[in-house]
A and B are shown apart, each in its own frame.
Chain A
Amino acid sequence: MSVREADKRVLRTPFYSRASELCQTNLWSPWKAYTTVDCYSYVEEEYFAIRNATGVFDLTPMIKYRISGPDGLAYLDKLMTRKMSKLTPGRVMYSAWCNDLGHVLDDGTVFHLEENLWRLCSAERHMDWLQATALGFDVEIEDETDDVVGLAVQGPTSCQTLKAMNLSCVENLKPFQHMSFDFEGTKLMVSRTGFTGDLGYELWVPSEYAEKLWDTLFEAGKAFGILPIGSHALDIVRIEAGFIQAEVDFVPALNVVRAGRGRSPFELGLDWLVHFDKPVFNGRRALLKEKEEGSRYRFVRLDIEGNKPASDSFIYNSKKDIVGHITSATWSPSAKKNIALGSVEMPWGRLGDELYAEIYYNRELKWNRLMARCHVVEGAFFDPPRRRETPPLDY
């Protein structure tokens, strides 16, 4: 399906005035309805700000839904594959949600803001699905993407930066908790969440407070090496953390055209998000069947020999049959490894399986081909203890 060029026009986020001033490259890309920075100065510099100091990322285009009403929790339990009953006010939960085929529509986070009020942050727009799921529940769903802005503040000195903003007791926030602070006459919500696999927070305010928040944050972060980061640097850290991304590592089920292109949570390494000991939820029947009969694919994290990024490579087994492909790949500066995420056909992708990535790379218009040995690894490529420390140490 083609999209009229005029329909691709993008908006500026409420942080545009600040971001454009700092963006030395002037490299921007569309993300949902907005234009966002790819890279402010050097990808490496931004990457190391996240891993060694504080990186700030504009989350405005992240899709946000406000879910309210007395049946909210039961509603979320039906929507999500994960058991949501532990989601109490002040907590955040990561989950995936599926269609009736048990294929993932998206993954995202749910914030329990207060009694009978939740926020769902997702990569894709889902209003139609969310409304259809609301049948039989007393809930209301509103899209608040444009009303609420967010800044991800990530890295070892992020907590110190927030403390310098006089957010008292922010250091006591445990992972997947949130709390609110008075800020310039509004409410600033801080959650200990992120997409970097590192110590980090996300700050949320009504969009009219965007510039004020940016200014206050960067003033406070001066002594802690604060830098704005673009999406390229973020992509490296999220692959290091082993996080999947919609439209990159899987096709959101509602966008799937060809039969079978969807992926179940089991096929995306999200088994831990599927709970059958709860009432009917979307995908339940199909997922139970898959659990019994086996999945079609396995999600793998790969450590690849050599240093050539394996983007889009085919994955082969030892008999040289194609058994899968790479969905995300990067050189990991922290792990000092050539890493990748991928999808392989069952039964391949077990620990110890002999797999190869077919890598093509170009040296001054000369193409070279490499069959690089891949090692399946479990867990994140980079997982510092500070990610979970509460209160975090000062770095």
Chain B
Amino acid sequence: MSNLYDTIIIGAGHNGLVCANYLAKSGRKVLVLEANEGVGGAAITREFAPEYSVSACAHLLHLLNPKIVSDLALNSHGLKMAAKGLTTLSLSTDGEHLTLDRDSVSGKALLQSDKKVYRDFQNKMRRFARILRKTFMTRPPRLVHKNRKDLMTLASLGLSVRLMGRDDMRELLRIGAINIYDVLQEDFQNEHLKAALGFDAVLGSNLGPRSPNSVLSYLYRLSGQVGENDSAVSQPAGGMGSVTEALKKSAEAAGVEIRTGVAVSRILLDVDKVVGVETSTGENLKSAEVVSNADPKTTFFKLVGARNLETGFSRRVDNIRMQGKAAKLHLALDALPEFTGVSSDQLGNRMIIAPSLTYLEQAFDHSKYGEFSNAPALEITIPSVHDQSLVPAGKHVLSAVVQYAPYDLRTGWESQAEVFKQIAIDKIEEYAPGIKDLISASELLTPVDIESEFKIHGGHWHHGEYTLDQFMMLRPVPGAAQYSTPLSGLFLCGAGSHPGGGVMGLAGKNASAEIINGGKN
């Protein structure tokens, strides 16, 4: 009996939709199955209080790949930005906030030398990020196979490192694997400025500023601000869900069939060959190719089953570090709040609460021992400033990432989520006195909630820490780093694969290229 579909994709996150689209364009009959009621995965807009909508997980766009936007004609499928090139304000209780742009920083307390150091630092880090980004557009090279394509990738990477010149090459090797705290201490004087930079290195990760790998995660973030991605931080009109809605429309136009509200309970195997999937309603859908947009642990342990994997491989998957430490806070506000020292026309920017590196490190310290931070760090947006479609007229919505909230909270989250929510609100109140009185509804998603709502193991929205040991040809694990897996016909296309997390889409695109090539050349 012939299969109805050539390829079944598990999960309609942005990567799943991107992958589906390219595969359909290659002539495949593609079915995408999504467990939730709508597409989007962790890139969705949803109502959290009557008439108040918000980007429920990811809330700012800074990595989306322009090639994907044009290949898939997302703009003609409804993708629009409500705001582009957002500035970052690092808040201060006394109103003396810093304003960080691509090349410049301003703030009353800053010296002229701070500003120059900032510009030089940004230029240097962007040069490094450009090297990193070079590797994003193709599959990671395998080191042990003498494969022409892999050798070319390595040679091109080596060449671009070499072409940086001696000083840059030394500097990249020197700082590549150390921590952002030490690097910032070398050049910067102003504690507030250091913290604003350090915050970006640890956002969404299980790292503190003194953790190794925090320079790498900073470069990863900057990779969205180099090359053709110069516009940096943007806010899609209609919230993050509009990105995946556009991806959905584009995919459907390419002939992809998408079924939502259909959870896959397991991947069907003939010993170690994929033959299809079984849905939670017991329906068996056959196909010779199955692509998982789910994270690697969910894919291999929940859908495939450790029993069906050889021990060396399953042990590597078991050891993937993916413990979520970020919570998401949503507030429905009766009016635009006032932040001390911030004018109302600045409120549409990205605002962060990270007064010093020590503050960040102490916030992180708690999470190491299974506690949440008593004084958390926050990334705050008020998307309704640019986009009134999210709220009733004249009202506002605040969306914030709150760190650190460990997935494995020692006491369990059940009784503690409300406590942590109040801590986060109190912290915002310190910077925006009176905001509490404006709150008509609120919601806090802990990593446990993120795990259950978005079906991400450990609630880690990057599907695995972005660190050297889980990077490039090691992401998610050797043996599955080129999107194919030890099970023939099974591929990965999610953030757990190279290049990684964020609403970028390249994991999905690269995976589709590998699938179309049949895992060859």
A and B form one complex: yes
Residues of A at under 8 Å CB distance from B?
74, 78-79, 99-101, 129, 132-133, 135-137, 279-285
- Contact across chains for B311 and A280 when beta carbons are under 8 A apart: no
A-B contact pairs, 14 of them (CB 8 A): A99-B311, A100-B312, A100-B313, A132-B315, A135-B301, A135-B314, A136-B301, A136-B305, A137-B306, A280-B271, A280-B308, A280-B310, A281-B310, A285-B310
- Contact across chains for B301 and A129 when beta carbons are under 8 A apart: no
Complex CA–CA separation, A284 to B308 (angstroms): 11
A74, A137, A282: the one contacting B310 at CB < 8 Å is A282
Complex CA–CA separation, A325 to B439 (angstroms): 80
Complex CA–CA separation, A167 to B318 (angstroms): 48
Interface class of chain B by DSSP: helix
B166 within 8 A of A: no
A72 vs chain B, min Cβ distance (A): 13
- Contact across chains for B312 and A280 when beta carbons are under 8 A apart: no
- Contact across chains for A133 and B308 when beta carbons are under 8 A apart: no
**Nearest A residue (CB) for B488:** A285
- Contact across chains for A280 and B309 when beta carbons are under 8 A apart: yes
- Contact across chains for B306 and A136 when beta carbons are under 8 A apart: yes
Most chain A CB atoms below 10 A, which of B313, B315, B479, B486: B315
Known: A279-B271, A280-B272. A74 touches B307 (CB 8 A): yes
- Contact across chains for B315 and A135 when beta carbons are under 8 A apart: yes
Known: A100-B313, A135-B306, A280-B272. A285 touches B486 (CB 8 A): yes
- Contact across chains for A284 and B310 when beta carbons are under 8 A apart: yes
Complex CA–CA separation, A246 to B315 (angstroms): 24
Q: Inside 8 A of A129's CB, which chain B residues have their CB? A: 311
Complex CA–CA separation, A100 to B486 (angstroms): 10
Complex CA–CA separation, A285 to B486 (angstroms): 8
B307, B311, B318: the one contacting A100 at CB < 8 Å is B311
Complex CA–CA separation, A132 to B309 (angstroms): 11
Q: Produce 1/0 per residue, B293-317, CB < 8 A to A.
A: 0000000010001111111111100
**Nearest B residue (CB) for A253:** B312
Q: What 4 A-B pairs have minimum CB-CB distances, sorted nearest first?
A: A136-B306, A100-B312, A135-B306, A133-B311
A74, A132, A285: the one contacting B311 at CB < 8 Å is A132
**Nearest A residue (CB) for B306:** A136
- Contact across chains for A283 and B310 when beta carbons are under 8 A apart: yes
A101, A136, A283: the one contacting B307 at CB < 8 Å is A136
Complex CA–CA separation, A282 to B311 (angstroms): 6
B247 vs chain A, min Cβ distance (A): 34
- Contact across chains for B305 and A100 when beta carbons are under 8 A apart: no
Q: Inside 8 A of B301's CB, which chain A residues have their CB? A: 135-136
Complex CA–CA separation, A48 to B486 (angstroms): 51
Q: Inside 8 A of B308's CB, which chain A residues have their CB? A: 279-280
Known: A280-B307, A285-B272. A135 touches B318 (CB 8 A): yes
Q: Inside 8 A of A280's CB, which chain B residues have their CB? A: 271-272, 307-310
Additional A-B contacts beyond A135-B315, A280-B308 (4; CB < 8 A): A79-B311, A132-B318, A281-B310, A282-B310
A98 vs chain B, min Cβ distance (A): 9
Complex CA–CA separation, A283 to B301 (angstroms): 19
- Contact across chains for B272 and A137 when beta carbons are under 8 A apart: no
- Contact across chains for B310 and A100 when beta carbons are under 8 A apart: yes
Complex CA–CA separation, A101 to B272 (angstroms): 15
**Nearest B residue (CB) for A277:** B271
Complex CA–CA separation, A133 to B314 (angstroms): 8
Complex CA–CA separation, A99 to B307 (angstroms): 15
Complex CA–CA separation, A135 to B307 (angstroms): 7
Complex CA–CA separation, A83 to B158 (angstroms): 48
Complex CA–CA separation, A285 to B308 (angstroms): 12
Q: Inside 8 A of B315's CB, which chain A residues have their CB? A: 132, 135
A270 vs chain B, min Cβ distance (A): 18
A313 vs chain B, min Cβ distance (A): 33
Q: Inside 8 A of A137's CB, which chain B residues have their CB? A: 306-307
Complex CA–CA separation, A135 to B318 (angstroms): 9
Q: Inside 8 A of B309's CB, which chain A residues have their CB? A: 280
A254 vs chain B, min Cβ distance (A): 10
- Contact across chains for A282 and B312 when beta carbons are under 8 A apart: yes
- Contact across chains for A284 and B314 when beta carbons are under 8 A apart: no
A75 vs chain B, min Cβ distance (A): 9
Q: Inside 8 A of B307's CB, which chain A residues have their CB? A: 74, 78, 136-137, 279-280
